[in-house]
Amino acid sequence: MRASIIFLSLLFPIVGCQNKESTTALRSKTNINEEWYYLEDNAEGIELIQNLDSWVSIDLPHTWNSEDPTDNKAGYRRSGSWYKKTLSFDGIAANTRYSLYFEGANITTEVYVNGKKAGGHIGGYIGFEIDITSYLNKGNNTILVRVDNGYNRDVIPSQKSDFFIYGGITRDVWLVTKPKLALGTVKVTTPTVSHKTADVHLEIPIADYNTTAPLNIKAVLKNPKGDVVVSAEQTVKGETSKMALTNIEDPMLWDIDDPNLYEVVVSLFKNDQLLDETSEKVGLRWFEFKKNGPFYLNGKRVLLRGTHRHEEHAGVGAAMSNAQHRKDMEQIKEMGANFVRLAHYPQDPEIYKACDELGILVWDELPWCRGGLGEEIWQTNTKNMLREIIDQNYNHPSIIIWSLGNEMYWLPDFENGDDIDRMNAFLTELNDIAHEMDPTRKTAIRKYYEGAEIVDVFSPSIWSGWYSGSYKSYQKAIDTYKPQYDHFLHTEYGGSSHVGRHTENPITGEGVINSDGWEEAIVQTKVANIAQIGDWSENYIVDLFDWHLRITEQDSTFVGNAQWAFKDFGTPLRPENDIPYMNQKGLVDRNGNPKDAYYVFKSHWAKDPFVYIESKTWTERQGPAGKKRNLSVFSNCDEVELIHNGINLGKKKKDISKFPASGLTWDIDFKEGKNELIAVGITKEGIVQDTLLVNYRFQRNDTAKGLELSYKLMKNGNYLVTATAIDKDGLRCLDYEDKVYFQCLEGGATLKNQGTPTGSEIIGMANGRASIEIIPDSTKTELTVMVLNQNFKGTYIIIP
């Protein structure tokens, strides 16, 4: 048998398929992302599109919503489109099964092979496999795929959710070959794990099992070094076999600091001949949520230091490369986070792989986000998706929670869709499915209070200092909820910040706006809803997060929380924001560039020494002569010293009980003009430092009277054009925040629809300044760029 399979794999190679991930004589998995064609046509029958000549060449992943969600027009394309690819074979092996594996296609999919429907899938955000064996021919084979992200209230998430539902084949696609008599996906559990010993249990399905065939299964467990530590072998007695690998001595545990991964290799034999072989990664760990108390991993208390992740990036939407997925998780880990909530849907396989390898605990979420409870078809689709999520992601040691939904009762799509009794009955059914499929993990929901007692872990809504109250009320909030819920885990807190927007006096922790010092004493103003009335400055969000972390890092009974959200992301519900259609609550912008708040988290969580002066985007400041400004330095070093214009202002020790910046603050008497600041972080291994140049003035700008344009050549050959609001004396108006509108009239084009601080034609000014990247064309025509708003009717600049 082995010889014949090797012979077939050599005789019938796949033509036109590159980037093979794995190939053996028994099975292969070949990436087929390249050389597809795309047709933007909503036609529902293949006879309507096969002869059209408007196909365009593309590679996957792909979405037709890469830019239109964040353009300057309301709405985005929610419809159907077609994809086409040719697969060529020298021959079709008789004992081989061929299938296409889609890691994700949003949101319903139909697959055709050589004109015949081979299968389909309902629901996005999760992988599915289509068996195409019986439809293939020797030679060329045409694959047609129709994907539709149109409004469909029977498929979650609801269109009323606060994020875009990107259409297309948004993840990798693979051609998979394996024997018809083959191993299925091996399910791995670790029922017994301690520091001294561990057991691994395997559930092994077999496709096309035939009781007349004498079969054996062998399982081998290899430790992270690749050494075999235990093995077992047994006779197959049915369609599913169960095996136990026991007495694993002194196991190398998987945890957040040392994410050790074992590998289990499972082989299928007939008469000592190898028929099939597969492998899975295994993490040996155990965890516990203490009642009304903290979280424990491997018997040790771990404060969950978390954030959230949406699956999208500037310019590509949800069609991210694996490198982009990986970079997101590496940035999260570099920040020091050990926990991530995947909001609000299961994500690319690369994310789970990265979390397993980096040591990041995961809250995986069913996309029941808003829309209430649906009818029978909706309920069937929703239960199927939950089963798919658990089936596909079961073996990842990083996952500790299956979340069953978020804000589910909001804005029902069906009549009586917010009926509490019906909602709870269905939520109970989902909870039972999750526990039946996986009794080892916890279930959770967020912000559906009526269902809090149904699931294991509950997150209420606490947005101290943003949607209500002040951030200094956070301790009171968590002290209220900890005894109320057996397992309280706080997900979602934070607020929006516009890159480069700063204020000398951000709203205080009591929600008060203070005088800046230019004026006589004034009546202080109380702000009830900072999200609506606040300045969206980076300074305020820095203080908000700094206070939250000061509280949580000192609370020995707190489970932990997850900041919302790691990266700015697109939303159809926020056209009025400073970057239209962007939720700007990220710690990094939509391109992954850190904002100031990122360094606040690093100062509390990160291991590698660093120091950061607030702020790289705040280099133009003003104030009365002689008025000192309190300057914060964020660092994880035990001790920091600050030097101002060559004068050493002394060392300070980090103390997380102090606010702000853990006591690493200095009162600076800025000189008019150039000021050099050098912060030096002192560690046992040496020093780290950061330098900031600040131009300070004693004259306060007057009302804005015009816009000025300037430019500089970028390393990539493009130009960064900057608009500055100026007063009658030519001073930059540091208090000007109105939106401006960029246009490139000739000679090139704006980098637009990116949802980033330099990739949006419409953008709110940050301290009287806004920029956009301009891409020259090949005509060598002088670039002409215009900026305007309702106050200033048009300012031009010509770039020769």
407 carries an active-site annotation? yes
Sign of the Cα torsion 615, 619, 622, 623 reads positive
Beta carbons of 478 and 555 less than 8 angstroms apart: yes
**Residue 70 in tokens:** 């964040």
Beta carbons of 173 and 140 less than 8 angstroms apart: no
**Residue 601 in tokens:** 């988290």
Beta carbons of 403 and 365 less than 8 angstroms apart: yes
In the chain, the amino acid numbered 442 is: K
Beta carbons of 99 and 131 less than 8 angstroms apart: yes
From 277, 365, 407, 761, the catalytic residue: 407
**Residue 64 in tokens:** 């037709």
Q: How far is CA 237 from CA 211, 218, 242, in A?
A: 8, 14, 10
Pairing mode, if any, of strands 56-58 and 361-365?
unpaired
Transcribe 228-278 into DSSP letters: EEEEEEEE--SSEEEEEEEEEES---B-SSSB--EEEEEEEEETTEEEEEE
**Residue 476 in tokens:** 């009171």
Burial readout 234-255 (b: 16 or more C-beta within 10 A, e: otherwise): eebeeeebebbbeebeebbbbb
- Count of helix runs (H) and strand runs (E) in the chain: 9, 51
* Angle between the N-to-C axes of helices 322-335 and 596-605, in degrees from 0 to 180, rounded to the nearest 10: 60
Q: Which residues contact 689 (CB under 8 A, 6 or more apart)?
A: 611, 678, 679, 680, 681
In the chain, the amino acid numbered 115 is: G
How far is it, in rounded angstroms, from Cα 171 to Cα 169?
Answer: 6
DSSP 355: H
CA gyration radius for the chain? 29
Per DSSP, the three-state class of 522 is: coil
Q: How many C-beta neighbours within 10 Å does residue 668 have?
A: 19
Beta carbons of 545 and 538 less than 8 angstroms apart: no
Beta carbons of 180 and 207 less than 8 angstroms apart: yes
Per DSSP, the three-state class of 474 is: helix
Return the residue matching tokens 């709405």: 75
How far is it, in rounded angstroms, from Cα 277 to Cα 184?
Answer: 10
How far is it, in rounded angstroms, from Cα 237 to Cα 235?
Answer: 6
For 142, list phi and psi in degrees, rounded to 5. -95, 125
Beta carbons of 365 and 341 less than 8 angstroms apart: yes
Looking at the annotation, which residues are catalytic? 407
